[in-house]
Structure 1
Amino acid sequence: MTQPDDDGHWTHVYEAKPPNTVSWYQETPEPSLRALDRFGASATSSLIDVGGGASNLVDALLARGWQDLTVLDIAAPALEASKGRLGAMADKVRWEVADITNWRPPRKFDAWHDRAVFHFLTEPEQREAYRTALSRGVTDGGLVIIATFALDGPEKCSGLPVQRYDPVSLAAELGDGFQLIDGWPEEHATPWGARQSFNWCAFRRID
């Protein structure tokens, strides 16, 4: 996954490395699929994958029959990698090259998925801009799944500093418009076998 901070940085990452060699790569996005299943998102839901980059999540959702999918990323090469992998199936997905902190959602989604974007937002104004997009982009009662580095997770990723969270601190960042349903830990294995502690949280959009 990539984050909104420096499009040149992330463009270089995806031009320099095959997608399956970056630290956040998952051959099968099981944590995301389990979370969507657990909290009732289904193939009839609309979903945006924020920072989806070259993730295989969109492949898995298409295979499950999802029809209304949007993938947003700041790095155009990451999205091009996904399109190339999907072939003709890429036409079934909406692709957005954008910085989430500058993006105005053109519509609302039933489900918002973010695996490892929010923790790159180390400045308060970045997080405020993200919350604005989130509030505008999720339906009332909609599901929000966000994964960040946990409190004992890495302090940097891809050479950039990150902000680490637990469920309480992440809920405080999102504010009163989002009700925390649950939070849980996950240990991610990088392609070279290192272990990274993640914090996953599920929220509902409330009035």
Structure 2
Amino acid sequence: MQNTNQEHWDSVYAEKDEVQLSWHKDDPSVSLELAALAGVSPSSSVIDIGGGRSRFAACLSAKGFTDISVLDISPVALEKARRAFGDTGASINFLAADVTPWTPASTFDLWHDRAVFHFMVTSEDQTAYIDRMTKAIKTGGHAIIGTFALDGPEKCSGLPVVRYSPQSLSERLGGEFTRVAARQIKHETPWGSVQSFQFCLFRKVG
């Protein structure tokens, strides 16, 4: 399954420019707002899951953050990100890996995921993801997770997704995470259609 997913996403990123991706957003304002609410600072350690073509890591780097990792299943996405970031990305640690079997080598103050977890459609993949996230976040650290909302699309990039409300996402993550904040947003794709997302900020208490 891992190789199949990698091939799928390599193909997507190879064929499309950044602005042709449905999830593209020039300004990751909701993520930045929730990161500020989490209290992260330039000395904080941050990992961006599935962030190969996301602007989030670049924005943090521009704000003076120096301990940033970007994990993505697609080496093609990461290589394009390296080139796009240029000098801004010199301090970013790029990790080509599928998050579900990945073993974190360190822990982080902030875990950021804009639309990866909702691709975990089996309970096994969801559990594996949550296990990695739990191990990767420091006690007292935070996670930002964005997924399609309950009225959002049932598929993305041809793949099925699981849609969540803040309540159902909290229940799925379990008792080690407490929800701090939630945001409902309408994301406009580059071609003008509107998609419903929900973003949640969680604090690791276990």
Output the TM-score relative to the length of structure 1: 0.96
The CA distance in 1 between the partners of 2:67 and 2:159, in whole Å, is: 33
Give the ranges of 4+ consecutive aligned residues of structure 1 lying more than 3 Å apart after TM superposition.
none
- Report the secondary structure of 1:7's partner residue: helix
Counterpart-to-counterpart distance in 1, 2:179 and 2:79:
34
Partner Cα separation in structure 2 for residue 87 and residue 39 of structure 1: 28
- State the alpha-carbon separation in 1 of the partners of residues 40 and 3 from structure 2: 26
Residue 14 (structure 1) aligns with = 13
Change in Cα spacing, 1:170 to 1:53, as seen in structure 2 (3 Å) is: same
Q: Distance in 2 between matches of 1:45 and 1:191?
A: 32
Partner of 1:123: 122
Give the 3 Å change call, closer, same or farther, for CA 4–100 of structure 1 in structure 2: farther
1:137/1:186 Cα in 2 relative to 1: closer, same or farther (>3 Å)? same
Deviation at 1:117, TM superposition (A): 0.2
- Cα deviation, residue 5, structure 1: 6.8
Q: Distance in 2 between matches of 1:171 and 1:158?
A: 25
Identity of paired residues, percent? 44
Q: Quick one: which amino acid aligns to residue 200 of structure 1?
A: F
Whether 1:71 aligns to 2:94 is: no
Distance 2:26 2:180 in 1: 27
Q: Distance in 1 between matches of 2:108 and 2:38?
A: 15
Query: What SS does structure 2 have at the residue aligned with 1:6?
Result: helix
Query: What is residue 195 of structure 1 aligned with on the other side?
Result: 194
SS in 1 for 2:90: helix
Q: Which residues of structure 1 form unaligned runs of 5+?
A: none
Runs of 5+ in structure 2 lacking a partner? none
Which deviates more, 81-90 or 158-167? 81-90
Could you tell me whether the CA contact under 8 Å between 1:4 and 1:101 is conserved in 2? no
Distance in 2, matches of 1:180 and 1:88, equals 36
State the shift of 1:91 in Å: 2.5
The number of residues matched between the two structures is: 205
Tell me how far 1:20 sits from its aligned partner: 1.6
The superposition leaves residues 77-117 of structure 1 with CA deviations (integer Å, 9 ceiling, x where unpaired) of 11111100122333201110000001010110000000000
Query: Structure 2 counterpart of 1:45, which letter?
Result: S
Residue number in structure 2 paired with 1:54: 53
| Greater shift in the superposed pair: 49-58 or 88-97 | 88-97
Distance 2:191 2:108 in 1: 35
CA spacing shift, 1:27–1:160, aligned 2, 3 Å: same
Other-structure match for 1:162: 161
Correspondence 1:147 to 2:146: yes
> For residues 4 and 146 of structure 1, what CA distance do their matches in structure 2 show?
24
- Residues 1:147 and 1:17: Cα distance change in structure 2 (over 3 Å): same
1:78-157 equivalent positions in 2, closer than 5 A: 78-157=77-156
Match of 1:34 in 2: 33
Cα distance between partner residues in 2 of 1:160 and 1:142: 31
The normalised TM-score by structure 2 is 0.96
RMSD of aligned Cα (Å) = 1.4
CA offset at residue 29 of structure 1? Answer: 1.2
Amino acid at match of 2:33: R
Matched, 1:45 2:21: no
